[in-house]
């Protein structure tokens, strides 16, 4: 088993290894789909273990010899975000179970964040308290990411956790295995908003706030942000229609 544990958790190495070895029996499952998320405890403190689905054969070979695994990337990107003072759950460790020629199971471990909402609530609950205030604060957070040369490729509604602290809000990124770290063009910055919401009124608010921060006219910022949003939504809806047709075809054959 290949693994790396943060220096702050070296004293708990044996416990962490045992938790990974006994992943199927330990902890509380909080999400299960392609990947599985569990909450476990170390010294009374909640931590999060994410078990990644074993990839297909091609990727088993790729991850074994040529590419970093999702678990390793999550750990390294979280560490880099932390060094840039970008909010994310504290990275604790990653583990990989490899075979001679193929990649097997992998795990990413971080502290369990307790949060008040995600960006998704802003989409589904337009009357959420402080809705516009939070949306503008989120836009400032995203601008700060861009200024720090962080391109979060999975910038989508469920991947930003939001904590309310007094009258302010703090933002934390999760699901980190797809990121780039580079200087971003204006087009790349606008594209980074495309997956967040289909609601024009929300895009208008984000465009207004981002325009102030970047020093460009609001109509220009909105036009680009809304163009990429529509482009993504059209592609997303097209995929849904294809899946629906395939599901119908399977039922009738």
Distance CA 73, CA 28 (A): 24
Q: Does 252 reside within a domain?
A: no
- In terms of domains, do 48 and 123 share one? no
Domain that holds residue 19: 2-111
Q: Mean pLDDT throughout 33-50?
A: 90
| Residue 252, pLDDT score | 62
Domain final position from 64, 82, 111:
111
Least confident among 58-62, 65-69, 112-116, 214-218: 58-62
Contact by Cβ (8 Å): 175, 120: no
Q: Mean pLDDT throughout 26-55?
A: 88
Q: Mean pLDDT throughout 157-162?
A: 96
| Residue 200, pLDDT score | 97
Least confident among 13-22, 42-51, 52-61, 209-218: 52-61
Distance CA 221, CA 76 (A): 32
Q: Does 141 reside within a domain?
A: yes
Burial class (CB in 10 A: 0-12, 13-18, 19+), 108: buried
The encoded tokens of residue 225 equal: 């942000």
- In terms of domains, do 121 and 234 share one? yes
| Residue 250, pLDDT score | 62
Q: Does 250 reside within a domain?
A: no
- In terms of domains, do 103 and 181 share one? no
Domain final position from 79, 111, 143:
111
Tens of pLDDT along 193-241?
999 999 999 999 999 999 999 999 999 999 999 999 999 999 878 877 7
Q: What band does 188 get if pLDDT is binned at 50, 70 and 90?
A: very high
| Residue 253, pLDDT score | 59
- In terms of domains, do 228 and 140 share one? yes
Q: What band does 247 get if pLDDT is binned at 50, 70 and 90?
A: low
Long-range contacts of range 110-114, CB-CB < 8 Å, 24 or more positions apart?
Answer: 110/47, 110/48, 110/50, 110/78, 111/45, 111/46, 111/47, 111/48, 112/39, 112/46, 112/47, 112/48, 113/48, 113/89, 113/161, 113/163, 113/172, 113/174, 114/163
The encoded tokens of residue 203 equal: 């895009």
| Residue 161, pLDDT score | 97
Q: Mean pLDDT throughout 129-157?
A: 97
Q: Structurally, how many domains does the chain consist of?
A: 2
The distance in angstroms from the start CA to the end CA of the chain is 44
- In terms of domains, do 171 and 220 share one? yes
- In terms of domains, do 134 and 209 share one? yes
Q: Mean pLDDT throughout 80-107?
A: 91
Domain final position from 95, 111, 127:
111
- In terms of domains, do 107 and 121 share one? no
Long-range contacts of range 65-69, CB-CB < 8 Å, 24 or more positions apart?
Answer: 69/94, 69/96, 69/103, 69/106
Q: Is 244's pLDDT higher than 80?
A: no
Distance CA 94, CA 246 (A): 37
Q: Does 197 reside within a domain?
A: yes
HSE-up of 126 (CA within 13 Å, CB side)?
Answer: 8
Q: Is 63's pLDDT higher than 90?
A: no
Provide the CATH number for the domain around residue 192.
Answer: 1.10.510
Q: What is the value of pTM for the model shown?
A: 0.88
């Amino acid at each position: 088993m290949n693994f790396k544990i943060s220096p702050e958790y070296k004293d708990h190495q044996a416990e962490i290894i045992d938790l990974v070895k006994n992943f199927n029996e330990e902890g509380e499952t909080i999400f299960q789909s392609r990947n599985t998320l569990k909450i476990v405890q170390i010294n009374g403190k909640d931590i999060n273990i994410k078990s990644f689905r074993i990839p297909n054969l091609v990727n088993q070979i790729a991850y074994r010899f040529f590419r970093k695994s999702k678990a390793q990337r999550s750990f390294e990107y979280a560490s880099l975000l932390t060094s840039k003072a970008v909010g994310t759950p504290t990275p604790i460790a990653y583990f990989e179970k490899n075979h001679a020629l193929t990649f097997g199971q992998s795990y990413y471990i971080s502290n369990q964040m307790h949060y008040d909402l995600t960006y998704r609530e802003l989409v589904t609950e337009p009357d959420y308290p402080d809705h516009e205030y939070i949306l503008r604060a989120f836009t400032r957070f995203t601008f700060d990411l861009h200024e720090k040369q962080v391109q979060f490729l999975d910038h989508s509604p469920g991947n930003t956790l939001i904590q309310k602290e007094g009258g302010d809000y703090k933002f934390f990124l999760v699901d980190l295995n797809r990121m780039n770290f580079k200087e971003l063009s204006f087009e790349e910055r606008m594209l980074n908003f495309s997956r967040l919401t289909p609601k024009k009124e929300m895009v208008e608010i984000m465009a207004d706030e981002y325009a102030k921060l970047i020093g460009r006219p609001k109509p220009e910022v909105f036009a680009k942000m809304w163009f990429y949003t529509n482009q993504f939504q059209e592609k997303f809806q097209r995929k849904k229609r294809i899946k629906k047709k395939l599901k119908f075809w399977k039922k009738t054959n």
